[in-house]
Amino acid sequence: MIRRFIFILLILTALFGLTSCSGGGGTQGNLAGTVVREGTGDLIPNPALIVGRQYSSPTVPDQQFLGDAEGKFEGTILEGKYIVQISTSIDGPYYTWPDVIQVIAGQTTVVLFQLPEGY
């Protein structure tokens, strides 16, 4: 009986994974990347990003990320699909990235955002 239970538990673990056991922290993943100027590839220092759920959630507020002097940012966020807005200034204006970003629990999603002129 106990062997059967352990066997079923191992199968379920293999199928669905236990991200909290692999250092993923449950249902959280990491979002990391760099912001550059579209067309030139020039790094944009200190970018501001607003990351919000694809479908608004009253329990998951938007998160703000601030990049470093080389345009790089990183943060931990709940798994899910997100819409990202990017700016060269915390005061805006913000450009809405056209693609939805998928964050997977226990993994790091790495993106390269190319910001057009005027933002």
CATH of the domain at 66: 2.60.40.1120
Answer whether residue 4 is part of any domain: no
Answer whether residue 79 is part of any domain: yes
Residue 4 CA: distances (Å) to CA of 7, 9, 11, 15: 5, 9, 11, 17
Q: Would you give per-residue pLDDT tens digits along the chain (119 residues)?
A: 555 545 454 454 544 444 333 344 469 999 999 999 999 999 999 999 999 999 887 888 999 999 999 999 999 999 999 999 999 999 999 999 999 999 999 999 999 999 998 88
Measured CA to CA, the distance from residue 96 to residue 87 in angstroms comes to: 9
Answer whether residue 6 is part of any domain: no
How many domains, the chain? 1
For residue 87, how many other CB atoms are within 10 A of its CB? 18
Q: Provide the domain limits for residue 82.
A: 24-115
Answer whether residue 44 is part of any domain: yes
Which amino acid is located at 72 in the chain?
A: K
Sign for the pseudo-dihedral over CA of 14, 18, 24, 29: positive
Answer whether residue 13 is part of any domain: no
* Cis peptide bond prior to 116, omega within 30° of 0: no
